[in-house]
Amino acid sequence: MNVSKAFALFMQETPASVKAWTQAAEALDVANTLEKKTETLDHGGFGKYART
């Protein structure tokens, strides 16, 4: 993974914060995933931007 020196230092010095932010980001990703029917109707349109 290519990250800035500042972010690398953040990851090194504050592992508990990194873990909390990672868990929050993963939870948001799961919560914002389109349901199967909507994803099928989306055809790669707006939904791909909503999940980034």
Helix, strand, coil percentages (3-state) for the chain, rounded to 5, are 75, 0, 25
**Global confidence as pTM:** 0.53
Buried b or exposed e, range 8-27, using 16+ CB within 10 angstroms: eeeeeeeeeeeeeeeeeeee
List the chain pLDDT tens, one digit each, 52 residues: 688 999 999 999 999 999 999 999 998 888 877 677 676 776 655 555 555 4
Q: How far is 31 from 22, CA to CA, in rounded Å? A: 14
| Of the candidates 24, 26, 29, the residue with the CA atom closest to the CA atom of residue 52 | 29
- Give domain limits for the chain: 5-50
pLDDT in the model for residue 51? 52
**Residue 4: predicted pLDDT:** 94
